[in-house]
């Protein structure tokens, strides 16, 4: 007890002698939000440059070539599609609803990867009927959500067969189901998608791979039904279902008419206002390759396309209007202007009645060759349980089988990484980290000096790339120890969290530069509630990936620019540098050491044990900023550590994907 009390008194005295707050910049700079959001603004500007020159077409053949290019890009960005295997579809029950019936269907989009679906079929009329593929949005209840039942029941009442299925992470297909809570451990489907999506990125895939494949296999099932005319099939959905409508329409020629709702906008508007959404809605490096929302429309090949929007939606209406205007010019140019339209109702996000009525009219015109009566039938809603296809309401507890996690893990285990010498590992790491070193001394600004016994602390910022200011403190001993290395220190908890370590090193005679790299310390960007614990600085990390960059690479640049500062600072006499990375700063410090031979030794406290461990673990926390797309196809963390030899790498502590210390 006395030992613990003495430690407490010593720590308290240290904090009193060197208040952590004095190492921060709030008092010197004022509001730091401009600094913390500078990366967001930089990435928005980069995105706008990529999107500045949209393609123009002089022939229909050029439109078709662009369509093929878009399809190839989507498939490349998602890691390709799984092979088609037997659907093993079965109807487990049928509900008679008067004008139509609902079949409860289970099929396998991949072997033992079960999909629960509801098929709406008109009663009392002879088919084959036109059909609607109806991918769902992220709303609670999945296929039982009220708005979806209105759409599906209305289409069936109007003479269409309609199919809806539970997306991954929703309805009966929740991937993190907790039998005690009787709910998902992650609460929201979008969180499920992004946690699984991070694993997919590491193996060179995308969460959209599984979801698109589910949709294509749902279409396979729909057109196999004798009640369906396979030449008259359309697709429509709202929000996440609008996204899937855009994807599926772009990829599958069997779809003849499309109407995405509350999804189409422009990337310029989305990046500026809302930011990137959950994992499957981002197809890195989509933006750096110059693709935008109109490309989804071009990929549909000038077929009938209706954009359903909401003026008060969080998907920016201005972006939707500019996208439709661009696409309509192309449709008009080739005499197809009547095949593209837009409805922008003055309401909020959702498949609300104005958009539903517009959809009935659009599909009746183009698939049934008739005018719709403009009336939405009175649909009697069913409960979620009444529409269940499984006994328990969850595939994982009723049927077992594969999950997205197990499929990702199997994909990772099947990879065969090449065995490379250290120099090749580092060269490949530079390539996928997207690191390019600066040249010359970074511009720096001073914000005062703190005097400490035996050393002084200069508060400064330096520019790691244009527009990005890195807050740092530089401790300079009164009598620097001869031969002592300068130290570059980064702790993702911030400079203040490393105040004691800085004090120790400076008193021992080392020059110490302690920095807040992007997303850390005073450069932390506040995240929406519930997001930050799982994947940290989501918006900037996702935007960077879309632009062909990585957050890890940007953080490495922040560190090596700090070394540039030390090496060009007159009077310091820095000849060698030791690096220390703590917490989430450990991984960028590892790669900084690999890329910069000026670092003679590195100490890492809190280094992620491996990228494979993230795929192996069901859950993970705050690893997103460390993700490198496709890294597991190329190398592992241990390969980088080995490649740095003969320079010294000391791993003080490894952590697992949940941030817990790995026991030796």
| DSSP E strand boundaries for 53-204 | 90-96, 100-110, 113-122, 129-134, 161-165, 177-178, 183-184
Q: Say yes or no: 28 and 76 in one domain.
A: no
The pLDDT of residue 600 is above 50: yes
Closest listed residue to residue 426, CA positions, set 634, 646, 653: 634
Q: Say yes or no: 83 and 128 in one domain.
A: yes
Q: Say yes or no: 433 and 362 in one domain.
A: no
Choice among 297-306, 468-477, 482-491, 630-639 with the minimum mean pLDDT: 482-491
Do 235 and 248 touch, CB atoms closer than 8 A?
yes
Q: Say yes or no: 158 and 184 in one domain.
A: yes
Tell me if 206 is assigned to some domain: yes
Tell me if 517 is assigned to some domain: yes
d(C-alpha 209, C-alpha 29), whole Å? 45
Residue 17 has what pLDDT? 37
Which residue is listed with tokens 């069913």? 382
Closest listed residue to residue 316, CA positions, set 274, 352, 259, 261: 274
User: Per-residue pLDDT tens for 170-216?
Assistant: 999 999 989 888 889 888 899 999 999 999 999 999 999 999 999 99
Tell me if 108 is assigned to some domain: yes
Q: Say yes or no: 358 and 478 in one domain.
A: no
State mean pLDDT over 62-73: 97
pTM: 0.93
Residue 214 has what pLDDT? 98
Tell me if 57 is assigned to some domain: no
Cβ partners under 8 Å of residue 3, min gap 6: none
Residue-averaged pLDDT of the chain: 92
State mean pLDDT over 345-357: 96
Closest listed residue to residue 505, CA positions, set 536, 535, 532, 484: 484
Does an H or E element contain 27, and which? helix 26-29
Choice among 13-27, 70-84, 304-318 with the minimum mean pLDDT: 13-27
d(C-alpha 534, C-alpha 531), whole Å? 6
Closest listed residue to residue 292, CA positions, set 313, 320, 312, 266: 266
| Two tokens, residue 89 | 């579809």
| DSSP E strand boundaries for 291-352 | 305-310, 340-345
Residue 27 has what pLDDT? 56
d(C-alpha 604, C-alpha 151), whole Å? 55
d(C-alpha 152, C-alpha 158), whole Å? 10
- Predicted confidence band of residue 350 (pLDDT cuts 50, 70, 90): very high
Q: Say yes or no: 25 and 75 in one domain.
A: no
State mean pLDDT over 379-394: 97
| Percentages (nearest 5) of helix, strand, coil residues in the chain | 40, 20, 35
Q: Say yes or no: 206 and 255 in one domain.
A: yes
Q: Say yes or no: 513 and 613 in one domain.
A: yes
Tell me if 56 is assigned to some domain: no
User: Any idea what the CATH number is for the domain that residue 179 is in?
Assistant: 3.40.50.1820
- Predicted confidence band of residue 10 (pLDDT cuts 50, 70, 90): very low
Residue 29 has what pLDDT? 65
State mean pLDDT over 257-280: 94
State mean pLDDT over 621-642: 96
Residue 535 has what pLDDT? 81
Choice among 130-144, 182-196, 405-419 with the minimum mean pLDDT: 182-196
Strand partners, 644: none
| Percentage above 70 pLDDT, the chain | 95
State mean pLDDT over 157-177: 96
Query: For the chain, what is the domain count?
Result: 2
Domain-terminating residue out of 353, 383, 413 = 413
d(C-alpha 136, C-alpha 176), whole Å? 19
How many CB atoms are closer than 10 A to CB 337? 13
Tell me if 318 is assigned to some domain: yes
The pLDDT of residue 316 is above 90: yes
Residue 125 has what pLDDT? 86
- Predicted confidence band of residue 28 (pLDDT cuts 50, 70, 90): low
- Predicted confidence band of residue 26 (pLDDT cuts 50, 70, 90): low
The pLDDT of residue 530 is above 80: no
- Predicted confidence band of residue 21 (pLDDT cuts 50, 70, 90): low
Which residue is listed with tokens 């850390």? 520
Tell me if 579 is assigned to some domain: yes
- State the DSSP code for 80: -
User: Per-residue pLDDT tens for 481-527?
Assistant: 777 779 999 999 999 999 999 999 999 999 999 999 999 999 988 76
Which residue is listed with tokens 């008679």? 96
Report angle CA 640, 643, 649 to the nearest 5 degrees: 75
Does an H or E element contain 579, and which? strand 577-582
User: Per-residue pLDDT tens for 227-248?
Assistant: 999 999 999 999 999 999 999 9
User: Per-residue pLDDT tens for 538-582?
Assistant: 899 999 999 999 999 999 999 999 999 998 887 787 778 999 999
d(C-alpha 103, C-alpha 94), whole Å? 4
Residue 187 has what pLDDT? 82
Tell me if 664 is assigned to some domain: no
| Two tokens, residue 166 | 């539970």
d(C-alpha 618, C-alpha 133), whole Å? 32
How many CB atoms are closer than 10 A to CB 128? 15
- Predicted confidence band of residue 528 (pLDDT cuts 50, 70, 90): low
The pLDDT of residue 18 is above 80: no
Which residue is listed with tokens 């990366």? 39
d(C-alpha 599, C-alpha 558), whole Å? 14
Do 144 and 387 touch, CB atoms closer than 8 A?
yes
The pLDDT of residue 1 is above 60: no
Domain-terminating residue out of 356, 380, 413 = 413
Q: Say yes or no: 584 and 447 in one domain.
A: yes
Range of the structural domain that residue 514 is part of: 20-48+422-655
Domain-terminating residue out of 360, 393, 413 = 413
The pLDDT of residue 13 is above 80: no
Q: Say yes or no: 428 and 519 in one domain.
A: yes
DSSP string, 408-453: HHHHHHT--PPP--HHHHHHHHHHHHT-----SPPPEEEEEEEEET
Q: Say yes or no: 478 and 387 in one domain.
A: no
Does an H or E element contain 641, and which? helix 637-643
Q: Say yes or no: 78 and 25 in one domain.
A: no
């Amino acid at each position: 007890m006395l030992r613990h009390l003495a430690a407490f008194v010593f720590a308290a005295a240290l904090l009193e002698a060197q208040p952590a707050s004095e190492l921060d910049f709030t008092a010197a700079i004022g509001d730091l939000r401009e600094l913390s959001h500078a990366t967001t603004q930089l990435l928005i500007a980069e995105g706008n440059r990529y999107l500045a020159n949209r393609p123009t077409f002089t022939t229909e053949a050029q439109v078709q070539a662009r369509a093929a290019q878009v399809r190839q890009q989507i498939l490349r960005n998602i890691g390709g599609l799984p092979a088609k295997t037997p659907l093993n579809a079965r109807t487990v029950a049928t509900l008679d609803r008067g004008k139509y019936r609902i079949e409860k269907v289970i099929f396998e989009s991949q072997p033992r990867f079960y999909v629960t679906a509801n098929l709406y079929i008109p009663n009392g009329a002879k088919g084959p009927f036109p059909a609607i593929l109806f991918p769902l949005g992220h709303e609670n209840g999945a296929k039982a959500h009220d708005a979806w039942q209105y759409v599906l029941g209305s289409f069936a009442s109007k003479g269409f067969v309609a199919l809806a299925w539970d997306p991954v992470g929703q309805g009966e297909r929740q991937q993190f189901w907790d039998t005690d809570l009787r709910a998902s451990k992650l609460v929201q489907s979008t969180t499920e998608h992004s946690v699984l999506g991070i694993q997919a990125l590491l193996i060179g895939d995308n969460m959209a791979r599984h979801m698109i494949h589910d949709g294509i296999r749902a279409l396979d099932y729909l057109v196999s039904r004798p009640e369906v005319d396979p030449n008259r099939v359309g697709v429509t959905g709202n929000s996440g279902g609008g996204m899937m409508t855009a994807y599926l329409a772009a990829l599958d020629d069997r779809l003849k008419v499309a109407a995405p709702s509350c999804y189409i906008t422009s990337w310029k508007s989305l990046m500026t206002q809302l930011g990137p959404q959950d994992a499957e809605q981002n197809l890195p490096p989509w933006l750096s390759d110059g693709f935008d929302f109109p490309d989804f429309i071009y990929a549909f090949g000038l077929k009938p396309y209706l954009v359903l929007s909401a003026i008060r939606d969080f998907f920016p209406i201005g972006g939707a209007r500019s996208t439709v205007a661009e696409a309509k010019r192309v449709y008009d140019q080739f005499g197809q202007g009547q095949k593209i339209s837009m409805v922008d109702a003055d309401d909020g996000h959702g498949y609300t009645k104005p958009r539903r009525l517009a959809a009935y009219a659009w599909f009746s015109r183009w698939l049934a060759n008739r005018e719709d009566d403009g009336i939405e039938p009175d649909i009697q809603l069913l409960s979620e349980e009444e529409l269940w296809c499984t006994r328990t309401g969850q595939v994982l507890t009723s049927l077992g089988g594969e999950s997205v996690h197990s499929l990702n893990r199997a994909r990772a285990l099947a990879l065969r990484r090449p065995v490379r010498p250290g120099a090749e590992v580092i060269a490949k790491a530079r390539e996928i980290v997207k690191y390019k070193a600066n040249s010359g001394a970074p511009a720096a600004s001073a914000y005062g000096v703190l005097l400490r016994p035996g050393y002084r602390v200069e508060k400064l910022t330096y520019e790691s790339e244009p527009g990005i200011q890195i807050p740092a403190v530089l401790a300079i001993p009164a009598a620097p120890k001869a031969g002592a290395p300068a130290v570059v220190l980064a702790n993702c908890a911030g400079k203040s969290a490393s105040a004691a370590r800085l004090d120790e090193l400076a008193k021992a005679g080392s020059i110490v530069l302690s920095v807040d790299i992007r997303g850390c310390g005073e450069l932390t960007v506040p995240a929406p509630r519930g997001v930050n614990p799982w994947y940290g600085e989501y918006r900037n990390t996702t935007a960077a990936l879309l632009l062909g960059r990585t957050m890890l690479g940007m953080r490495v640049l922040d560190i090596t620019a700090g070394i540039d500062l030390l090496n060009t600072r007159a009077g310091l006499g820095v000849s060698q540098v030791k690096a220390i990375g703590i917490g989430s700063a450990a991984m960028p410090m590892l790669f900084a050491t690999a890329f910069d031979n000026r670092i003679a030794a590195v100490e890492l406290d809190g280094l992620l044990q491996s990228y494979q461990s993230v795929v192996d673990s069901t859950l993970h926390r705050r690893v997103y900023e460390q993700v490198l797309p496709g890294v597991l196809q190329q190398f592992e963390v241990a390969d980088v550590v080995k490649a740095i030899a003969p320079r010294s790498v000391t791993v003080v502590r490894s952590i697992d994907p949940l941030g817990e210390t790995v026991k030796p």
